[in-house]
Structure 1
Amino acid sequence: MHRLLEILRGCLLLFTCGLPALAQDYHAIQVLDSETGRGVPLVKIQANGQDYFTDSNGLLAFGTQGELDQNVDFSLSSYGYTSSVWPLLTTIGTTSQVTIQREQFAERLYRVTGKGIYQDTVLLGQIAPIQKPLINANVKGQDSVQSVIYKGQLHWFWGDTLYDVGFGNFRTSGATSQIPGQGGLDPAVGVDLSYYVDAAGSSKQMMPLSQPGPVWIDGLFTVHDNSGREVMLTHYSRRDPKNALGAQVEHGLARFNDSQELFQRHQVYPLSAPIVASGHSFEHTLGGQEYIYFAESYPNIRVKKNWNDVNDPAQWEAFTPLIEGSLYDPADPPLELDFQGKPVYGWKKNTQPMNTDMMEQLAQNGFIQRDESPFRLKDFVTGDDVRLHRASVYWNEYRENWIMIGNQAFGDSFLGEVWFAEAPTPEGPWENAVKVVTHHDGAENYTLYNPKQHPYFSEEGGRYIYFEGTYANTFSGNPIATPLYDYNQVMYRLDLSLIPSLSMAAIPGDFGHNGFVDSSDLAIWKKGYGDNESSIADADGDADTDGEDFLTWQRNFTGSASLSAARVPEPGGVLLVISNLMMLSLKRRPERVERVPA
């Protein structure tokens, strides 16, 4: 399915087929990707001053009166693809196929949500791959997806939803679909969504609180309770009805009620709670311990995957250079520093996670050096810094790395540039990135924000990955919204064989995950020594932090980019202090457990 209609390669770039008429009122124009041969959605086709857009099959039902059965020049353009002009004879009942060359790495596949996903396909009398190709649950537009497999089905949730008839639903919408290979569609074709609906058949409120204000969710995940029952939980945020983007008035954990098919309050957090589920979740097993990680941009929150820890906010951890138990203060950040004044990154409880803006601010103000942070994305080609807005991270077998799909803030378009990056551990170092999607077109820039990977759609061992994002002009500066597509989810596929290797190998002893084995890692080892439940400095993966892990650090000590004359502690100095501790490590040790990405 990856190279649908590949036999078109080498054929004429344009041919007009004398096919039997599918719809007598139209001339069909189909725009094909010149490499893959499949239809390209969201191609703007201009003719005689009018703008048209292809549907999710790359089809346009052209039926403008006075321009049928004529020779017409059509101008084609699309974000990430080359522009071209095609002279076509618009004979009624026939099809013209034209090709467009993709310049970006990722291939645009289809629109997932909204009205008229396959509008032109239906007008032309062709069969659409999804059951409701024109309108589904009265949904006109949907913002920012969360998804997870729960009880054998894919569950999808969105933030604000615009109705085709009526105003909309601003308290989270939801749907299910079957998993590919288990009754679900081939993800290259589409996603067949079954919405949770109200009595009127519209996408219903999934968290209908009695208090005012929109309700958004993020950090969706599953865990088993103490009876062994699978539970779906999420962070919820009730917003100020007068300022939804800026003010949170309530938040906590919400639990999905299977019988009522909606979320209900599970725990209400103080507004000042330092660590909460956010972004998108993924799972990882480290030192025999299962964790749930969360990445709003970089992965910086985790909790042990068990019911008791999930329900105890004091057990949640943030990956941060702040002193444990502290909150971020931009004027005087409470950084944990080693004896050389270097920040010590680590997993710390009751400590504020550092988001992208905070990390960039620390670097700009000289409190840290950006090139020593584990979160330091830059353009692999130009070396320019890439400032993340939001991202989605998962393990990928094909790359044998943790991979990230993230959109950039303040890029060539404000939020419409999407990047691929990879790292040997969830914590990093996240360094090199390659742009895979663009929405840069001068005054016609667009956005594709809050991207989400779908690892359950991956094919050929992870060579092909799928992701989507919210296509909207809201923050783009472009006042013209694309008909039908605007404020909806658009799916992409990326062939990872096309991307060069971007990640360094993990370095044993690099406990701070910044790509260097230096004095800050020694500070992390000292902090974690003797903790058999912590993986903070477990270099050998045996589920404890001991003297052997120190020796691993010492053997691999290199210093950092900023150290001109790094000094490794002499064995006689440090080992004298820890000699008794080393003896403890010779006692019977637990069986080694390999680090296994979940």
Structure 2
Amino acid sequence: MKALTLLAFSSAGLAVEPCRIEIVDKENGWPVPLVELRTTHDARYVSDNAGLIVLDDPDLFDRAVWFHVKGHGYGVKKDGFGYEGIRTSPAAGGTIRIEVDRRNISKRLGRLTGGGLFAEQQKLGVKAPEPETGVFGCDSVLLAKHEDKLFWLWGDTTLPGYPLGVFHSTAAHSSLQPVSEFKPPLSIRFSHFRDADEKVRGVAPIPGDGPTWLTGMASLPWKVGLPDRLVATYTKIKNHLDEYEVGLCVWDPEKNSFESHHVLWKEGDGEKGLIPRGHPFRWKDEHGKEWLLFGDPFPTMRCPATFEGWETKEQWEKVAAPPHPRAAEDGAEMKPHRGSVTWNPFRKRWVTVFTQTHGKPSAFGEIWYAEAASPMGPWGKAVKILTHDNYTFYNPRIHPELTPADASFIVFEGTYTAEFANHAQPTPRYNYNQILYRLDLDDPKLAPARE
């Protein structure tokens, strides 16, 4: 008993009250997620969705400590030697407030997926807004308003229990208005589709080896008196990125999964022809006919905006690709990698957000905004709205479903990943997850895109 008492006393004596570090945007005081602090001995700390870092390392207390500051478009002024960081003196039980300058036009709202969205806040005894989902990482998002909910779908998904996770797409429902305030701290309540053991499960078990990836998801009217049908294009993958089968699939509300509807192409068939890909959106032509446009970001094909028009290949039409937008700053051609297009009531224009192919400083992490009178183009001058330091941010998707119809801003999310970057060091918890941004359309820095 005496030994146990001494052990308990010794353990209690080693406990250190943490130091609270708050990362905030100097302009508006909002918490800033995804800001990394790194010491001179390479200890790394990353702010959570509440903009918090909890420091409990005793070797850093009660002395002057230098923190390099890295924030992918957020930062502090460099010193005379070119170091971007701060010198401060952490103390047990203390609070440090770090104000960072936002260099992006877009404002970071927070991470939507993965574990520990509010991990630092929880270390301080504050309960997270939502329980943990059991998802550690997930690839590109698709989103559709279906019946009375929002239907969210992601690609390959990482789980806690093993390096190999779910490779047949995962999905969840949310309410039609899951976000009340478009500022951090932010979280969305997702109701994931799960198996009998309550683990997040795949929702596209299309037969065949390898992962199943979905694209071109939409909710379309069917027969009179019957509910709309949720549809998508599936691809079967081998060798990491190679397609060997492409087809159409339809959501089965009884099985709660996508089922193969029609095979469009198989390896060995020759040219693929038209394939409904990307983030589809509705558009009415000059005759009032409503079409569903598919593209990534700009339209490449269209079909009548009905289930019959979608499933009948003879009704599909090719759309001519517009010229690439040019940068407002220097007129350089901006070749899009992936992105999305939507009508914006505030601007009364079509708007697009896309990832630049082989941009700088990140090859696939530079995000641009442009406008057009027609979704077919031509697109006006493009303005860079988001940058990354040797990191990837691909497949950005504008979410008009989330914002009020009269909103003077848009929100978009994309996949933040070390993949396709130059030996980037993965960011703990954030890597391979979805991050949401806000873009204020009345920001003076967007003026060149309005010309």
TM-score by length of 1: 0.67
**Residues in 2 aligned to 1:108 and 1:168: alpha-carbon distance in whole angstroms:** 28
* Deviation of 1:460 (Å): 7.3
Give the counterpart letter for 1:258 in structure 2.
P
Q: How do 1:520-539 and structure 2 match up within 5 A? A: none
Q: Which residue of 1 aligns with 2:209?
A: 212
Q: 1:199 and 1:185, CA in 2 relative to 1: closer, same or farther beyond 3 A?
A: farther
Q: Which residue of 1 aligns with 2:343?
A: 395
**Residues in 2 aligned to 1:274 and 1:148: alpha-carbon distance in whole angstroms:** 25
Q: Which residue of 2 aligns with 1:17?
A: none
* Deviation of 1:452 (Å): 0.7
* Deviation of 1:273 (Å): 4.3
* Deviation of 1:184 (Å): 5.1
2:427 counterpart of 1:482 = yes
**Residues in 2 aligned to 1:95 and 1:294: alpha-carbon distance in whole angstroms:** 50
Say if 1:300 and 1:427, in contact at 8 Å, map to a contact too.
no
**Residues in 2 aligned to 1:78 and 1:426: alpha-carbon distance in whole angstroms:** 33
Q: How do 1:222-237 and structure 2 match up within 5 A? A: 222-227=219-224, 228-237=226-235
Give the counterpart letter for 1:263 in structure 2.
F
Q: Which residue of 2 aligns with 1:386?
A: 334
**Residues in 2 aligned to 1:316 and 1:503: alpha-carbon distance in whole angstroms:** 33
Q: Which residue of 2 aligns with 1:275?
A: 274
Give the counterpart letter for 1:231 in structure 2.
R
1:121 match: secondary structure: helix
Q: 1:462 and 1:428, CA in 2 relative to 1: closer, same or farther beyond 3 A?
A: farther
Q: Deviations over 1:376-430 (max 9, x none)?
A: 2111011111111011100001111000000011110110000001100010111
2:244 match: secondary structure: strand
Q: Which residue of 1 aligns with 2:418?
A: 473
Say if 1:282 and 1:394, in contact at 8 Å, map to a contact too.
yes
Q: Deviations over 1:54-96 (max 9, x none)?
A: 1111100111123234443333221112334333342333322
**Residues in 2 aligned to 1:407 and 1:120: alpha-carbon distance in whole angstroms:** 30
Say if 2:16 and 2:58, in contact at 8 Å, map to a contact too.
no
2:232 counterpart of 1:239 = no
**Residues in 1 aligned to 2:108 and 2:237: alpha-carbon distance in whole angstroms:** 33
**Residues in 2 aligned to 1:171 and 1:482: alpha-carbon distance in whole angstroms:** 25
Say if 1:393 and 1:405, in contact at 8 Å, map to a contact too.
yes
Say if 1:375 and 1:431, in contact at 8 Å, map to a contact too.
no
Q: Which residue of 1 aligns with 2:12?
A: none
* Deviation of 1:177 (Å): 1.1
* Deviation of 1:237 (Å): 0.6
Q: How do 1:288-307 and structure 2 match up within 5 A? A: 288-307=288-307
**Residues in 2 aligned to 1:187 and 1:104: alpha-carbon distance in whole angstroms:** 17
Deviates more, 1:222-231 or 1:55-64: 222-231
2:355 match: secondary structure: strand
Q: Deviations over 1:505-540 (max 9, x none)?
A: xxxxxxxxxxxxxxxxxxxxxxxxxxxxxxxxxxxx
* Deviation of 1:193 (Å): 1.5
Identity %: 31
**Residues in 1 aligned to 2:436 and 2:73: alpha-carbon distance in whole angstroms:** 14
Say if 2:16 and 2:56, in contact at 8 Å, map to a contact too.
no
Q: How do 1:29-428 and structure 2 match up within 5 A? A: 29-49=21-41, 50-83=43-76, 84-129=84-129, 131-132=130-131, 135-136=132-133, 138-166=134-162, 167-180=164-177, 185-188=180-183, 189-227=186-224, 228-240=226-238, 243-246=239-242, 248-271=243-266, 272-286=271-285, 287-320=287-320, 374-412=322-360, 413-428=362-377
Q: Which residue of 1 aligns with 2:387?
A: 438
**Residues in 2 aligned to 1:402 and 1:186: alpha-carbon distance in whole angstroms:** 24
Q: Which residue of 2 aligns with 1:449?
A: 394
**Residues in 1 aligned to 2:421 and 2:290: alpha-carbon distance in whole angstroms:** 40
Q: 1:456 and 1:24, CA in 2 relative to 1: closer, same or farther beyond 3 A?
A: farther
1:379 match: secondary structure: coil
Q: Which residue of 1 aligns with 2:3?
A: none
Give the counterpart letter for 1:496 in structure 2.
L
2:120 match: secondary structure: helix
1:216 match: secondary structure: strand
Q: Which residue of 2 aligns with 1:329?
A: none
Q: 1:262 and 1:187, CA in 2 relative to 1: closer, same or farther beyond 3 A?
A: farther
1:120 match: secondary structure: helix
**Residues in 2 aligned to 1:497 and 1:279: alpha-carbon distance in whole angstroms:** 28
- Write 1 or 2 for the structure with the bigger share of strand: 2
**Residues in 1 aligned to 2:302 and 2:405: alpha-carbon distance in whole angstroms:** 29
Q: How do 1:487-526 and structure 2 match up within 5 A? A: 487-498=432-443, 499-502=446-449
Say if 1:472 and 1:486, in contact at 8 Å, map to a contact too.
yes
**Residues in 2 aligned to 1:288 and 1:308: alpha-carbon distance in whole angstroms:** 18
**Residues in 2 aligned to 1:491 and 1:38: alpha-carbon distance in whole angstroms:** 15
Give the counterpart letter for 2:347 in structure 1.
R
Q: 1:127 and 1:187, CA in 2 relative to 1: closer, same or farther beyond 3 A?
A: farther
2:128 match: secondary structure: coil
Please tell me the root mean square deviation across aligned C-alpha atoms, in Å: 1.9
1:477 match: secondary structure: coil
Say if 1:376 and 1:431, in contact at 8 Å, map to a contact too.
no
Say if 1:187 and 1:457, in contact at 8 Å, map to a contact too.
no
In structure 2, runs of 5+ residues without a counterpart are 1-14, 77-83
Give the counterpart letter for 1:153 in structure 2.
K
**Residues in 2 aligned to 1:192 and 1:206: alpha-carbon distance in whole angstroms:** 19
Would you say how many aligned residue pairs link Structure 1 and Structure 2? Answer: 417
Say if 2:383 and 2:448, in contact at 8 Å, map to a contact too.
no
Q: Which residue of 2 aligns with 1:360?
A: none
* Deviation of 1:211 (Å): 2.0
Q: Which residue of 2 aligns with 1:463?
A: 408
**Residues in 2 aligned to 1:70 and 1:260: alpha-carbon distance in whole angstroms:** 60
2:142 match: secondary structure: strand
1:35 match: secondary structure: coil
Q: Which residue of 2 aligns with 1:341?
A: none
**Residues in 2 aligned to 1:436 and 1:150: alpha-carbon distance in whole angstroms:** 30
In structure 1, runs of 5+ residues without a counterpart are 1-22, 321-353, 355-373, 505-598
- Write 1 or 2 for the structure with the bigger share of helix: 1
1:197 match: secondary structure: coil
**Residues in 1 aligned to 2:187 and 2:409: alpha-carbon distance in whole angstroms:** 15
